[in-house]
Amino acid sequence: MPLIKDGAVAEDSWTTVGEDDPIPGGKAVIVGLTRWKDSADDLSGHNGPLGVRLKSDEPPELIAKDLGRFDLIALEFPNFNDGRAFSYARLLRERYRFTGEIRAVGDVLQDQLFFMRRCGFDSLELKEGRNVDTAIDALGDFTVAYQPASDEKDAPVKVRDWASN
Amino acid sequence: MMYQYDEIDKTLVKERVDQYRDQVARRMRGELSEEEFRPLRLRNGLYMQLHAYMLRVAIPYGLLSSTQLRKLALIAREYDRGYGHFTTRQNIQYNWPNLEDTPDILDHLAEVEMNAIQTSGNVNRNVTSDPYAGVARDEIEDPRPYCEIVRQFLTLHPEFSFLPRKFKVAVTAAETDRAAINVHDIGLRIVKNDAGEVGFKVLVGGGLGRTPFIGKVIRDFLPKEELLRYLQAILRVYNMEGRRDNLFKARIKILVHELGTERFTEKIEAEYEASKSDTRLLMDGIEEDRIRAFFTPPTYESLSDDAPDVDAEAAGNPAFADWLNRNVVAHKQPGYAIVNISLKPMGEAPGDATAEQMDAVADLADQYSLGHLRVTHRQNLVLADVRKQDLVALWKALVALDFATPNIERITDIISCPGLDYCNLATARSIPVAQRISQRFADMKRQYDIGEIRINISGCINACGHHHVGHIGILGLEKNGEESYQITLGGSSDVDADIGKRIGPAFASEDVVDAVETLVNTYLDIRQDGERFLDTYRRVGQDPFKERLYAAY
């Protein structure tokens, strides 16, 4: 599936493994929350980067204590109307100070990408068949915003300051 | 007098129109299916209605300049069939635009600092307020700077653009609630605490639709500077925990109801506390002052509050006297008055205005009201800054336009949704029922005898005509292919807000006006001195009304 990172098409170095699949040693792997909860100890022996994938009804609170173990958190959009992961991403960045990669996966629309980046997502996995070029263009749809979010430091947009600090 | 766009506002609206123009082009070329296009057009206020597209344009907190109103008239003339429909949420709707014209319409709107952003879809909608804001005698301070702050904060919000369901905020600062804050997802009332500081009372979870609720107070006093942080907490909890499994249970009112007010409030307060280390949303006054400066009261002339010419005209001209009593309201500035323009002449569709009427009202606003006007929640217009000495001349001009019907808050001042004549959600017609009631009670003397009464009509269970909060509410349904109308009594959206109760079986279309008349006659027979319809109903309950109503059938 096409992956967009830093505003360009990127190679996907991560492998998502199912509940019962063997964990390939040395590889960057993403596991589901259940697998992580059931076998955190086994996974601690994994000698490659580790990611976890949260469904839209699995808030980051559930992995708050384990965040140091993950290099990537994938947040799932079961359909584009389900906007819970926008809040999850902001909480991960702003409350839990997660500095690894946050990836949007599932039913991602190009018209949402600008918002996703502002909420702290840094990679976006498009559904097969969606147009990558127009999606990358859509990241630049707006150069201004009315409110601060999670993208402040390297914000590509001019943001209205409510407070002066 | 009015907020003016700076570079950020202008750029944002322009980029939004560009984005939308591209989406329409992709749709016209077939690159986007209707299914894919739907959520995109909805966010720009474009609905698919029964016969055509409908474009809803936001009038933030109901405030319009004459220039903006002329632009709305131009759009009605060039892109529609010559009229527009003012709604209960201070928007205007066009019922006949062509899809390919809609980006041009948005360009026109941008020229006068207007837009259709977030007038539909599962996002925060137009922020509404008191149509007398800034000029009312009973307000603590002008609520519009806060409306504007909330409007900006929740426009294209990256976190809250895919909420479980639509979201509506209303703000008032007056004792009398002219903004129906009790039936909004968030209602904000500007209040003073014991220390004399100004802040907000926060209500959450009000709403109509198929499960009506009155909003619950979750904060008696929120310091002003905390407004955005607190709103963020409410929206975040709703975004994460609001139901997404059932469209009909997705509004925040259901979350409040299912958790209980106490548990819901705890969650909001916890999220609010947790976000306190983020000071970016703590309003320190700079941005607030910038926005407040736009709403500085105009320079009023120093005038006497006595207007002998007006008194003399009223003494000799009963029609003028009626209008003065009914449609003109006291202004906080001596020598000035607030004038309601009734968009409900006898037998006409509530809220409709033609392009010619809009142009004419724009001229009147320039001539008599400092170039501005307001749109009300009850689908009328208001000229808020009229010199008393101009009232006679203004009245004559309004009479010529058929806009001087002295029926504000009377039985023919009916709220109605567009109904089955336009809307594909509707199950029955509503405008024709409003017209028939208006004709039946056309006699002004009778209207004044009946006194204050609110009739609200919705053409389906979604309740866009706010029937739940009408003193008499009428809900149009469809039964075996026939339109029928259910009646509720005792609703109110004012400070004494309540949800009306169903009185009994529904009425056929040809009987519904008779039923309303029977209810009104019952009230006239049993009312005590000084009681409004609602007061009598609350005193005696349903039974006397029910007996008379169903005895006849």
- Residues of A within 8 A of B152 (CB-CB) are 146-147, 160
A164 has pLDDT over 90: no
Provide the percentage of residues in chain A whose pLDDT is more than 70: 95
Contact B244/A at CB under 8 A = yes
Report how far Cα B393 is from the mean position of its chain's Cα atoms: 29
B201 has pLDDT over 70: yes
Angstroms from A128 CA to nearest CA on chain B: 15
The reply to whether residue A146 touches residue B244, judged by beta carbons under 8 angstroms, is no
Q: How confident is the model at residue B478 (pLDDT cuts 50, 70, 90)?
A: very high
The reply to whether residue A162 touches residue B244, judged by beta carbons under 8 angstroms, is no
Picking from B71-75, B194-198, B293-297, B424-428, which range would have the lowest pLDDT averaged per residue?
B424-428
Q: What pLDDT shows up at residue B61? A: 97
Separation of alpha carbons B372 and B299, rounded Å: 14
Token couple for A165: 């600090």
Angstroms from A111 CA to nearest CA on chain B: 8
Can you tell me which residue has the tokens 């307020």? Answer: B129
Q: What pLDDT shows up at residue B148? A: 97
B239 has pLDDT over 50: yes
**For the segment B206-227, what is each residue's pLDDT rounded down to a tens digit?**
999 999 999 999 999 999 999 9
Token couple for B240: 């994460």
Provide the percentage of residues in chain B whose pLDDT is more than 90: 88
Q: What pLDDT shows up at residue B47? A: 86
* Among B19, B155, B239, beta carbon nearest to A146: B155
The reply to whether residue A84 touches residue B240, judged by beta carbons under 8 angstroms, is yes
Picking from A137-141, B54-58, B410-414, which range would have the lowest pLDDT averaged per residue?
A137-141
Contact B245/A at CB under 8 A = no
Q: What is the mean pLDDT of chain B?
A: 95
* Among A84, A146, A148, beta carbon nearest to B239: A84
A162 has pLDDT over 50: yes
The reply to whether residue A86 touches residue B159, judged by beta carbons under 8 angstroms, is yes
Contact B289/A at CB under 8 A = no
A154 has pLDDT over 70: no
Separation of alpha carbons A47 and B39, rounded Å: 44
| Overall fold of domain A3-159 | TIM Barrel (3.20.20)
Classify domain B136-292 by CATH architecture: 2-Layer Sandwich (3.30)
The reply to whether residue A160 touches residue B279, judged by beta carbons under 8 angstroms, is no
* Among B40, B159, B287, beta carbon nearest to A119: B159
Q: Report, as an integer, the average pLDDT of A149-165.
A: 72
**For the segment A75-109, what is each residue's pLDDT rounded down to a tens digit?**
999 998 999 999 999 999 999 999 999 999 999 88
Taking one residue from A and the other from B, the number of pairs with CB-CB distance under 8 angstroms is 118
Angstroms from B235 CA to nearest CA on chain A: 10
Separation of alpha carbons B397 and B357, rounded Å: 11
A110 has pLDDT over 90: no
Q: How confident is the model at residue B553 (pLDDT cuts 50, 70, 90)?
A: low
Q: How confident is the model at residue A165 (pLDDT cuts 50, 70, 90)?
A: very low
Contact B15/A at CB under 8 A = yes
* Among B16, B163, B228, beta carbon nearest to A83: B163
**Contact by Cβ (8 Å): B489, B471:** yes
Q: Report, as an integer, the average pLDDT of A15-34.
A: 91
Q: How confident is the model at residue A1 (pLDDT cuts 50, 70, 90)?
A: confident
Q: What pLDDT shows up at residue B82? A: 96
The reply to whether residue B239 touches residue A119, judged by beta carbons under 8 angstroms, is no
Q: What pLDDT shows up at residue B55? A: 95
**For the segment B102-158, what is each residue's pLDDT rounded down to a tens digit?**
999 999 999 999 999 999 999 999 999 999 999 999 999 999 999 999 999 999 999
Among A146, A152, A159, which would you mutate to test the B interface (most chain B Cβ atoms within 10 Å of its Cβ)? Answer: A146
Where are any strands of DSSP class E within B261-343? Answer: 328-330, 336-341
Contact A149/B at CB under 8 A = yes
CA angle B544, B546, B548 (to 5 degrees): 70
Q: What pLDDT shows up at residue B134? A: 97
Q: Report, as an integer, the average pLDDT of B313-336.
A: 97
Q: What pLDDT shows up at residue A87? A: 98
Higher pLDDT, B131 or A20: B131
Where are any strands of DSSP class E within B431-497? Answer: 455-458, 472-479, 482-489
3-state secondary structure B476-527: EEEECCEEEEEEEECCECCCCCECCEECCCCEEHHHHHHHHHHHHHHHHHHC
B136, B236, B417, B473 from B458: Cα distances, Å: 30, 31, 6, 8
Token couple for B402: 């058929």
Q: Report, as an integer, the average pLDDT of A128-153.
A: 86
The reply to whether residue A146 touches residue B12, judged by beta carbons under 8 angstroms, is yes
Could you confirm whether domain B308-400 is CATH 3.30.950.10? no
| Domain map (residue ranges) of chain A | 3-159
Can you tell me which residue has the tokens 């968009």? Answer: B343
- Residues of A within 8 A of B120 (CB-CB) are none
ipTM of the predicted structure? 0.96
The reply to whether residue A144 touches residue B15, judged by beta carbons under 8 angstroms, is yes
Q: What pLDDT shows up at residue B419? A: 92
B285 has pLDDT over 80: no
Q: Would you say the C-alpha torsion B347, B349, B353, B354 has a positive or negative sign?
A: negative
Q: Report, as an integer, the average pLDDT of A11-16.
A: 94
- CATH for B7-111 is 3.30.70
Higher pLDDT, B33 or B118: B118
**For the segment B371-393, what is each residue's pLDDT rounded down to a tens digit?**
999 999 999 999 999 999 999 99
Q: What pLDDT shows up at residue A42? A: 76
Angstroms from A26 CA to nearest CA on chain B: 35
DSSP β-ladder status, B352-354 and B83-86: antiparallel
B439 has pLDDT over 50: yes
| Domain map (residue ranges) of chain B | 7-111, 136-292, 308-400, 415-551
- In the CATH hierarchy, which top-level class contains the domain B415-551? alpha beta
The reply to whether residue A82 touches residue B19, judged by beta carbons under 8 angstroms, is no
Q: What pLDDT shows up at residue A156? A: 66
B261 has pLDDT over 60: yes
- Residues of A within 8 A of B165 (CB-CB) are none
**For the segment A32-69, what is each residue's pLDDT rounded down to a tens digit?**
999 999 887 778 788 899 999 999 999 999 999 999 99
- Residues of B within 8 A of A104 (CB-CB) are none
Contact B395/A at CB under 8 A = no
- Residues of A within 8 A of B286 (CB-CB) are 161, 163-164
- Residues of A within 8 A of B236 (CB-CB) are 87
* Among B11, B240, B280, beta carbon nearest to A163: B280
In 10 A of CB B304, how many CB atoms? Answer: 10
Q: How confident is the model at residue A25 (pLDDT cuts 50, 70, 90)?
A: confident
